[in-house]
Structure 1
Amino acid sequence: MKKTVSAILLTGVFAAMPAMVAAASQEEAKTEPSKEIVLNKFKDNWMISLEGGVDFSLGRFDSHADFGKRIAPVFGLNVEKWFSPVIWLRLGADYYGMKGAALWGNGMSGEMLDNTYYKQSYALITPALDVMGDLASLFCGYRERVYSPILYVGMGIPVAVSGDGDIADCVNMGMRGGLLNRFRLSDAWAINLDLRFDVFEETVAGEGNHAKTLSALVGVTYKFKGRGWNAPVVPVVAPVVGKYSDAEGDALVAQLRDANRKIADLEQQLAECKNRPAEKIVEEQAPVVTVYYNINSSELQGKDRVVLKAVAKAIKANKDTKYVITGYADSETGTAAFNAKLRKARAERVYDALVSYGVSPDQLEQKTSDAKLDRFGSYILDRAATISPAK
């Protein structure tokens, strides 16, 4: 059959060769996808995020407060604009609760802790602007991913808005950086795990040292329409091929003669195949039942035991017939030694089950086979054991 197809293909190729030579001097326009990214319009690739979590204060005296008394809530509302799949900006505002210990400074209450330090509690509203970069798109190229690690750095303007004791009325500066872990739910929705570190000016805490926090926030992001990225299609013009030289023409003629000889030989083989008597195909006897197993397993399932119980009843009703149990394993997974043990174990499990249901061992024979159980099916169908009447 393969030789027949080869003959047909060769005939078609060399029959079309004159037309190919005549068209060789013409230009052929092709297109190929560009590896560049088109920057979308300004109205595209916008999203909004809402997040909330906790922060942990790392101020000058905060280590003198218990761990749990340094944890406070933090919330954020942000708008993001992507300029490319790699880089974009995030503008938003965050609410920080700040808790810890102090000897002086903002939010110091009159409540003294056990170690002569005072309880400290105040809150900040911080408008901030972040520059963000998608590490996966930067190093592995752009595509839609389930998970995207996004690194960012930014600046904020923390303003103290409430707290215990006196609150300094001032506008401050802050720096921050973090890792935004974004998990894609659909084209429009994603969830985030934002891990952040903030450093505020000395005047924020009023302790003569920079206030610092670690934050962990969980949030949800909605992407407005105009979400994807497109690449341009760049036209590619094939080079112009000139006329063949005499030497090249002679070589083509020689190739045609050789091809004609091959075609004649294949036509003769085809004629011989037509006159050859058809082979008789002996149909193999189908098994009584086939038990399928999970990959690398020889354990019977509950449904299989129900089937085997019914098969045992039929075998006991035919006491004069012997049955062969054959174990199989797919050759696509596992080593040859492991598959040999697996075939034997699968046959033994079926044998043991039938004997336990009252079948006489004299009616049963076990063997294994490394052949394919289903020549036209998936190799998954080879993970089985069959029960067939003995020949």
Structure 2
Amino acid sequence: MMKKTIFAALALAAAGPALAQSEQTIQNGDFTETVEYSNDKYKVETNHFWDNWFLSVGAGPQVMFGDHDKQIGFGKRISPALDIAVGKWFTPGIGVRLMYNGLSLKGATRWGEAHSTGEQVSGWGSGMYYSKFKYYNLRADVLFNLSNLFCGYKENRIWNSSFYGGVGYMRTWEAPTAGDVTMSAGWLNSFRLCDAFDAFIDLRASMVDDAIDGEIGGAKFDGLLSASVGLTYKFKRRGWDKSKTVVRTNVGEINALRDQLNRANDENARLRNAIDESNRNPKQEVKKTAASNLIIFRIGRADLSKEARANLGLLAEAIKASDPNAVYTITGYADAGTGSKKTNERLSKKRAEAVYDCLVNEYGVSESQLKIDYKGGVDNMFYDDPRLSRAVITRAN
């Protein structure tokens, strides 16, 4: 048991820094805004559409796998490739890009039927020729940044490893022309140079219909392997902000509630003095009841604030110290100037029920001393102020 307790304590201590929050408070007139920034590296603010776009340009070798790989060596099939891509990261872990890649591919053709260079492949008779043709491949990739997905977002991380998969369309420029859908998968490694630029190494495998090189052989697909290196420019605005929670507080309203609570305290002190006086003169049978109580709610809400609960706690003390046979009516109201009639009836009822539940369940007032009533939406009840009609009034019958 002791080992489990120590282990749990160490786990909480390790998790503490990652889940800690920083806080910033801004005062604006009667309002105070408190902004809490989460240090959870797996949570960031959602970016805007034009945030985190990038442009990549790279080049490198590529090799084609076709029908005559045995007749022409691996090195003879290597050709240059150009990659140009534009894309966007929607989250630190998921992005998309549209890419052009192409230039030319090398291979072999029998009897010089497709894209022959006119040069025979030695050792395979007079019917085998080297081939070369220009092509382009336009495709869309979905990228998964494994570093951010598994290790959390880190703006200054030097190396980011990403897996991607995509589909596209490949077509040859020269007769006999051919075109078909391609499927690709690859491993993208990005290395941070500065805020705006990354260097990258992109390793990719693709497959396309066998007829793309102008010949139909025994295989169903031809394949491409490529490795490119290049630079990525990250457009502004780049990166993600920490996740934050903004709490806006009306200080003026709190001060008004505090004044109301002070007045209630004064009234409760008066009641205590009256009770003490009554106890000192037991011959006089005087039934005491708690003073009427007013609880104000926020517009459209039926939940009790901390100040309201404190006020009700003092009311509960007064009720329990008064005549145990006294019955109090808890009447809910809503502001007629906002909301429909049906909505205000429901809201005034929920407000009365919230006060009832607080007095009974939190402060132990007997259910036999309370009953609920509600009036729906009403006109301004006090000082021509609609806020004072979003209320619950508790008074003795």
Query: TM-score, with normalisation over the residues of structure 1?
Result: 0.50
- Of residues 191, 201, 226, the one that matches 1:193 is 201
Matched residue type, 1:128: R
Partner of 2:183: 175
> Percent of aligned pairs with the same residue?
34
Partner of 2:214: 206
What is the CA distance between 1:68 and its match in structure 2? 2.1
Q: For the Cα contact (< 8 Å) 1:34–1:234, is it kept in 2?
A: no
Counting only pairs closer than 5 Å after superposition, residues 290-369 of structure 1 correspond to structure 2 as: none
Three-state SS of the structure 2 residue aligned to 1:172 is: strand
Matched residue type, 1:42: F
Partner of 1:90: 97
Whether 1:224 and 2:235 are equivalent positions in the alignment is: yes
What is the CA distance between 1:98 and its match in structure 2? 1.1
Whether 1:37 and 2:44 are equivalent positions in the alignment is: yes
Partner of 1:261: none
In the superposition, relative to structure 1, how do residues 32 and 240 fare at CA in structure 2: closer, same or farther (>3 Å)?
A: farther
What is the CA distance between 1:212 and its match in structure 2? 0.8
Query: Which whole-Å deviations, capped at 9, do the CAs of 1:73-120 have from their partners, x for residues lacking one?
Result: 000111011111101111121114211223266323432211323211
Q: For the Cα contact (< 8 Å) 1:55–1:73, is it kept in 2?
A: yes
Q: For the Cα contact (< 8 Å) 1:34–1:233, is it kept in 2?
A: no
In the alignment, the residues of structure 1 paired with residue 123 and residue 90 of structure 2 have an alpha-carbon distance, to the nearest angstrom, of 52
Counting only pairs closer than 5 Å after superposition, residues 1-391 of structure 1 correspond to structure 2 as: 31-33=36-38, 35=40, 36-103=43-110, 106-116=114-124, 117-144=128-155, 145-162=157-174, 167-208=175-216, 209=219, 210-234=221-245
What is the CA distance between 1:195 and its match in structure 2? 0.6
Matched residue type, 1:160: T
Three-state SS of the structure 2 residue aligned to 1:64 is: coil
Matched residue type, 1:231: K
Partner of 1:367: none
Structure with more relative contact order (C-alpha pairs < 8 Å, separation 6 or more): 1
Q: For the Cα contact (< 8 Å) 2:189–2:202, is it kept in 1?
A: yes
What is the CA distance between 1:31 and its match in structure 2? 3.2
Partner of 1:358: none
Structure with greater strand share of residues: 2
Return structure 1 stretches of 4+ with deviation > 3 angstroms.
29-32, 239-243
Three-state SS of the structure 2 residue aligned to 1:139 is: helix
Q: Which 5+ residue runs of structure 2 have no aligned equivalent?
A: 1-33, 249-304, 311-397
Q: Which 5+ residue runs of structure 1 have no aligned equivalent?
A: 1-28, 244-391
What is the CA distance between 1:161 and its match in structure 2? 1.1
Three-state SS of the structure 1 residue aligned to 2:147 is: helix
Query: TM-score, with normalisation over the residues of structure 2?
Result: 0.49
In the alignment, the residues of structure 2 paired with residue 221 and residue 142 of structure 1 have an alpha-carbon distance, to the nearest angstrom, of 19
> What is the RMSD computed on CA atoms of the aligned residues?
2.8
What is the CA distance between 1:235 and its match in structure 2? 5.5
Matched residue type, 1:123: K
In the alignment, the residues of structure 2 paired with residue 173 and residue 126 of structure 1 have an alpha-carbon distance, to the nearest angstrom, of 9
In the alignment, the residues of structure 1 paired with residue 224 and residue 191 of structure 2 have an alpha-carbon distance, to the nearest angstrom, of 25
In the alignment, the residues of structure 2 paired with residue 49 and residue 32 of structure 1 have an alpha-carbon distance, to the nearest angstrom, of 33
